[in-house]
Amino acid sequence: MTEQGTSTTADAAANRVINFGAGPSALPLPVLQEASQAILNFQNTGIGIAEISHRSKEFTACIQDVEQQIRTQLQVPPTHEVLFLAGGGTAQFAGAVLNMLARSWLLNPEKQERTLDYVLTGSWSVAAKKEADRLVVGPSGTGVRVNVVVDGREGSVDGKSFESIPGREKWKFSEDSDLIYYCENETVSGTQFGFEDVPAVEGQEPVGEESALAKEKTTFPFELLPEGKLWPLVGDYSSSFMSRPIPRLADHAIIYAGVQKNLGPAGVTIVIVRHDCIVDVDAAAKLGAIPVPACLSYKAFKDGKNTPNTPSVFSIYVCGLVLKRNAELGGIGYYLELNRRKKEKVYKVVKEGEAKRVLRLKVKEASGSWMNVVFTVLGEGAEARFLEGADERGMKGLKGHRSVGGIRVSLYNAVTEEEVDKLVAYIREFIQEEQKGKPSLPSETVAV
């Protein structure tokens, strides 16, 4: 890099704040700089990436490379397709339901009742269930029932909040479900399924949750599902995609993720679909299934090689830059360890704040998200003081979701460990100032 280029990079870094926002998330500075050049001239074509045809040979090579990078880094098996849709995770609340119901009708057109199972662990899984209710409940009836497998609110102190992943004994799957939905990470409540016993990736040894926390089983209970069957399992990985390996990816029917947390700008949803779930939705509709719009038909995207319509070319291109950088850094194994360290540092300082009656974690730590740490600042006006102090130090996006309030620290891949260290130092400074005059709690009484 030239002296001028080095200066430009330094200037750009100096002018940027630390983005702890819940999404769209921060993106790596080198990626933004390369993308800014492509805006004007993509691969010396004389055409900007935002202008180039989605059917050009240059973009065709780009989208194929992004697919291959996802396959390689996540170890996606050949039994699954990688599709690029629009509409975010919200569109897939409907897309997954409609495609899986079409599959059910084609497999068993005479089936009297079809069942959709929903695991409720936070706001997004509740929203997914509401969309299913809206689609299948009507005056004419569809013969489809929506079943709640487990509701995390039932185990909370107030009966309304999502504080933890429910224990195994509370789960009630349907006997012959046509869809089983779960949201792996809940950005609003700050709950996430535990990470444990995932096969080694890229030469790394298998790893597990810290032993002290592993006593509380918070991983998804795959062992409760029937062996020897193709599970209709749908995982919403929108806010944790590419942050750590996906447990039993090959056993999922569908995994989807909006890219705007860890991969690129909003506009693309990655949908990994098992081949038997890519069906002729029009044929299913003739048998009585709910019609599927073409923009949600997985078969339309597979047959159209991911371009049945004009995709978000720029977003897909930036995803490719991020994936390339990920591979250079060490792939998903690198982010697994980086994100583990980042979340440990933040939870540790929040627990210090709890001991001094300044902060309170909103979830049980064993169920706490690696990506979105949610806590409350105690005391009148304290939250405003916390946010003001963070803003003065160039730390943005820390205010919690409007539905739950408090503070939310989002630790997506592009948030560096150095940036987390700056936040932790500020939180400790804030605790010290706020704690003056407040008695500390005995260490054994601090809630985790």
pLDDT digits (tens, 9 = 90+) for 226-243: 988 999 999 999 999 999
pLDDT band at 219 (very low <50, low <70, confident <90, very high): very high
For 402-413, how does the pLDDT look when each residue is reduced to its tens digit (9 = 90+)? 888 899 999 999
One domain for residues 321 and 353: no
Residue 255 lies in a domain: yes
Contact 372, 411 (CB under 8 A): yes
35-56 residue pLDDT tens: 999 999 999 999 999 999 999 9
Question: Residue 211 — very low, low, confident or very high, per pLDDT cuts 50/70/90?
Answer: very low
Q: Is the pLDDT of residue 300 over 80?
A: yes
Q: Is residue 24 included in any domain, yes or no? A: no
Task: Give the pLDDT band of residue 436 (cuts 50, 70, 90).
Answer: confident
Is 413 a member of any domain?
Answer: yes
Residues 105-132 have pLDDT tens digits of 999 999 999 999 999 999 999 999 999 9
165 with 95, same domain: the answer is yes
Mean pLDDT confidence for 305-314: 94
Q: Could you tell me the pLDDT band of residue 22, with boundaries at 50, 70 and 90? A: very high
Residue 12 confidence (pLDDT) = 67
The mean predicted confidence, pLDDT, of the chain is 91
Examine the domain organization and report whether 213 and 357 are in the same domain: no
Residues 319 and 359 in one domain: no
Return the amino acid letter for 85.
L
Token reading at 69: 């990078």
- 15 lies in some domain: no
User: pTM for the full model?
Assistant: 0.91
**Same structural domain, 208 and 287:** yes
Query: What is the rounded average pLDDT of the residues 312-329?
Result: 98
Query: What percent of the chain lies above the pLDDT cut of 90?
Result: 83
Domain count within the chain = 2
- What confidence tier does 9 reach under pLDDT thresholds 50, 70, 90? low
What is the band of 201 on the pLDDT scale with cuts at 50, 70, 90?
A: very low
Do 418 and 360 fall into the same domain? yes
| 94 and 191 fall within a common domain | yes
The pLDDT value given to residue 447: 46
* In a shared domain, residues 299 and 358: no
Final residue of a domain: which of 307, 329, 351? 329
The pLDDT value given to residue 198: 37
We report the CATH number of the domain holding residue 159 as: 3.40.640.10
**CATH number for 384:** 3.90.1150.10
Residues 288 and 194 in one domain: yes
Torsion, Cα 334 339 340 343, to 10 degrees, reads 170
In a domain, 302, yes or no: yes
pLDDT of 157: 85
User: Do residues 273 and 385 share a domain?
Assistant: no
Q: What is the pLDDT of residue 343?
A: 97
Residue at a domain's end among 296, 329, 362: 329
Q: Are residues 366 and 296 in the same domain?
A: no
The answer to whether residues 115 and 195 belong to one domain is yes
End residue of a domain, out of 295, 329, 363: 329
Residue-number span of the structural domain to which 379 is assigned: 332-438
Distance (Å) of CA 316 to CA 32, 61, 262, 275, 410 = 14, 11, 13, 23, 23
Which pLDDT belongs to residue 172?
97
pLDDT in tens, 57-82: 999 999 999 999 999 999 999 999 99
